[in-house]
Amino acid sequence: MTPQKESKEAELDRRLSSFLVEKKCPTTLGYYYLKSCIVKTCLNPSVTACMNKLLYEKISTEHDTDVANVERCIRNVINIWWKTLKNDILFTKKPTNKECIITLAEYINSRQDDKPKDNDKTFHDDERYISIYEQLFG
């Protein structure tokens, strides 16, 4: 991996971690798999074309586990997270693994060039997120 790609990946990871902590995402094993999937999707959106064969397989290799475990752990963390955020506008319905990964990757990428401001809106107030989610999943 090139130094530039490493620094971009580290920056994405930092921003994503901050966002997930802010949104109270449970830090189970699935959290780390979900985070890895989102970062990889930000860097290469085409990996979501075939989640099991491309994305989950990469994550399972990195974490020395099997593909089914990665998928199950991600689904579990999304289910737990959904139950805690039902009244939040994070998602309008319970997302599938793919919906969650793509939507959060799009959101993180859309915020890449933003400079933080003291009065910066929180994620659930961000109209760009709602637009991205509606365009992708109607």
- Give residue 66's region: left, alpha or beta (phi > 0; psi -120 to 50): beta
**125: confidence class by pLDDT, cuts 50, 70, 90:** very low
The residue segments making up the domain with residue 74 are 3-137
Cα distances from 7 to residues 4, 113, 117, 130, in angstroms, run 5, 15, 22, 28
Q: What is the pLDDT of residues 71-101, one digit of tens each?
A: 999 999 999 988 887 666 567 788 899 999 9
Rounded to whole angstroms, the Cα distance separating 47 from 59 reads 11
Total structural domains within the chain: 1
Percentage of the chain lying above the pLDDT 90 cut: 34
Tell me: pLDDT of 114 over 60.
no
Q: Which CATH number characterizes residue 45's domain?
A: 1.10.10.10
pTM recorded for the entire structure: 0.76
Q: Are 30 and 15 in contact (CB under 8 A)?
A: no
